[in-house]
Homo-oligomer: A and B are copies of this chain.
């Protein structure tokens, strides 16, 4: 069975900016989904900010193995109810890949628990991404480094928690560096942040970038059955404790009662 990917695009600059529209006439999300669909093991569709529920209904998320997210100008327009839903889906086992300016997307910030800030410069400078580990599945088929001739600069310090693994580090022509490929787990969900992808450059047409996203989709896919309620905090009554015990001492809760939240 193929991996079901939903590529979420903000779809704002593609509509408003001539340069972006020229590079991505059907939207960045479509370009990314089309590239993913070249792999027989992946079925990628798209969703955008402008759709009801931003295209991310509970049913849609339940049928999504990996969510790819690109946003920039309209982070603030994403409804909090959808953000909650996305986080719940990740915690229940959906993979999530956040691209470039999605470092400030609401669901990414919520999953990181940190400022997610950085320094930046839009000068079309050269970026070179280096692998730190040749064995990582997200680096499969890639050379030790690859270049993007024109990119926006993102610089350290990058305000994210120490990752599980730093997979890529970027060199920028203007003198900065950036940890540009980072893995995390949140609940049952695998999360990957990947830096490149400023909308005024043809980054998502680059074959190495496409390969990273495809590799990341496969890495993030968790074939285990989704957890029904990732927030459940069940009481384990004395009678079913793994070892026989007798209740002792004072008590706040009554039998069968829910815990406080």
**A: which residues have CB within 8 A of B?**
13, 17, 19-20, 72-76, 87, 91, 93, 101, 104, 110-115, 117-125, 128, 130-135, 137, 140, 144-145, 147, 150, 153, 155-159, 161-162, 164-166, 169-177, 179, 184-190, 198-201, 222-224, 227, 230-238, 241-243, 245-253, 259-261
| Contact, CB under 8 Å: A117 / B231 | yes
| Contact, CB under 8 Å: A173 / B245 | yes
State A26–B243 Cα separation when bound (angstroms): 35
A232 to chain B, nearest CB (A): 6
Known contacts A75-B260, A113-B111, A173-B243, A134 near B157 by CB under 8 Å: yes
Q: Which of the listed residues A111, A114, A170 has the most CB atoms from chain B within 10 Å of its own CB?
A: A114
- Which residue from chain B places its CB closest to the CB of A184 in the assembled complex? B161
Q: Which of the listed residues A131, A165, A252 has the most CB atoms from chain B within 10 Å of its own CB?
A: A252
- Which residue from chain B places its CB closest to the CB of A131 in the assembled complex? B157
Contacts of A101 in B (CB 8 A): 260
| Contact, CB under 8 Å: B161 / A186 | yes
Known contacts A134-B188, A135-B188, A185-B161, A150 near B249 by CB under 8 Å: yes
A101 to chain B, nearest CB (A): 7
Contact pick for A114, options B93, B150, B162, B187, CB 8 Å: B187
| Contact, CB under 8 Å: B187 / A158 | no
The 8 closest A-B pairs by CB, nearest first: A175-B242, A124-B249, A135-B188, A174-B241, A124-B248, A175-B243, A113-B113, A117-B233
Contact pick for A135, options B124, B166, B189, CB 8 Å: B189
A47 to chain B, nearest CB (A): 20
| Contact, CB under 8 Å: B132 / A156 | yes
State A123–B240 Cα separation when bound (angstroms): 12
Known contacts A104-B260, A235-B120, A159 near B91 by CB under 8 Å: yes
| Contact, CB under 8 Å: A158 / B171 | no
- Could you list some 12 contacts between A and B, CB below 8 A? A19-B252, A87-B113, A104-B261, A119-B233, A121-B236, A128-B177, A131-B156, A134-B224, A140-B223, A166-B166, A174-B238, A200-B251
- Which residue from chain B places its CB closest to the CB of A199 in the assembled complex? B252
| Contact, CB under 8 Å: B113 / A132 | no
Contacts of A223 in B (CB 8 A): 140
